[in-house]
């Protein structure tokens, strides 16, 4: 493994008496595609939000691109791209206008036309967001995350609700991003990655009726990409 993009050691987070994340440890190399797998309620989104700096952990050590995300360092935020489970953009802006708006938030944004080409929305550049299909809107979400040309991209269940065809198209977009050398941290429900059959999530012995920790799975090639 080359340079480490994300390192997590014994991460824990509780909401009252409920342990949402119980002792997760993982390491992700720069340029790697990493899938965090688990059933609904396993703590995947909580884990991702902690890594993004939106939620504070109870204990454990977290490093993202060499920063502690809990400190909210601007230099870290400038290097992150985030695709949330749901997003809200002005439905009456065009696709091009939406990407340009988010490009303006970053010091060294990626060219708009390159972003649209990467996500397959070049022909929709002048279409209003409200006219896009569900799959195209998720592609726009990825375009927004790429606007700042991030080193690390977080995808929180980006294909939830997709039909099989739309899901395959989304996977192709993700593979294309990996080809750029981006580090991709991807959370998704279930126990399979699109690259291989992943081991099922483990049920903690102390919680026989509830999943409290997600299983991490690192997909092999061709989906994994390494710059080392």
Segment 135-150, tens digit of pLDDT:
888 889 889 999 999 9
Q: How far is CA 182 from CA 42, 96, 144, 169, 217, in A?
A: 26, 23, 15, 18, 18
CB 76 within 8 A of CB 67: yes
Q: Are strands 152-156 and 4-15 parallel, antiparallel or unpaired?
A: unpaired
Q: Are strands 4-15 and 59-64 parallel, antiparallel or unpaired?
A: antiparallel
Residue of 151, 115, 142 whose CA lies nearest to 227: 151
Single pTM value for the model: 0.77
CA–CA dist 47, 11 (Å, integer):
8
pLDDT of 168 higher than 60: yes
**Residue position matching structure tokens 């050590």:** 61
Strand partners, 196: none
pLDDT class for 89, splitting at 50, 70, 90?
confident
pLDDT class for 163, splitting at 50, 70, 90?
low
pLDDT of 51 higher than 70: yes
CA–CA dist 177, 175 (Å, integer):
5
CA–CA dist 1, 145 (Å, integer):
26
Q: Which domains does the chain have, with CATH numbers?
A: 29-56+74-217 (3.40.50.300)
Q: What is the pLDDT of residue 16?
A: 93
Q: pLDDT digits over 24-37, tens only? A: 999 999 989 898 88
Strand partners, 192: 197
Q: pLDDT digits over 61-76, tens only? A: 999 999 999 998 899 9
pLDDT class for 39, splitting at 50, 70, 90?
confident
Q: What is the pLDDT of residue 216?
A: 43
Structure tokens at 15: 């909401």
Tell whether the torsion through CA atoms of 194, 200, 204 and 210 is positive or negative. positive
């Amino acid at each position: 493994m080359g340079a480490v993009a994300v390192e997590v050691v014994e991460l824990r987070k509780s909401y009252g008496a409920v342990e949402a994340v119980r002792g997760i440890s993982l390491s992700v190399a720069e340029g790697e595609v990493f899938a965090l797998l688990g059933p609904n309620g396993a703590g995947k989104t909580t884990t991702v939000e902690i890594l993004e700096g939106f939620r504070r952990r109870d204990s454990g050590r977290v490093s993202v691109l060499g920063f502690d995300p809990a400190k909210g360092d601007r230099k870290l935020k400038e290097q992150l791209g985030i695709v949330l489970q749901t997003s809200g953009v002005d439905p009456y802006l065009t696709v091009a206008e939406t990407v340009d708006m988010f490009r303006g938030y970053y010091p060294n944004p990626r060219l708009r036309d390159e972003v649209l080409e990467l996500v397959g929305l070049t022909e929709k550049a002048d279409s209003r967001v409200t006219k896009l299909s569900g799959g195209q809107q998720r592609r726009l979400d990825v375009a927004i995350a790429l606007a700042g040309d991030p080193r690390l991209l977080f995808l929180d269940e980006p294909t939830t609700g997709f039909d099989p065809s739309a899901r395959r198209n989304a996977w192709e977009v993700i593979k294309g991003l990996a080809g750029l050398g981006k580090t991709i941290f991807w959370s998704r429900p279930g126990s399979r990655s699109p690259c291989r059959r992943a081991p099922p999530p483990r049920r903690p012995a102390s919680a026989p009726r509830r999943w409290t920790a997600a299983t991490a799975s690192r997909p092999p090639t061709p989906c994994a990409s390494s710059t080392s």
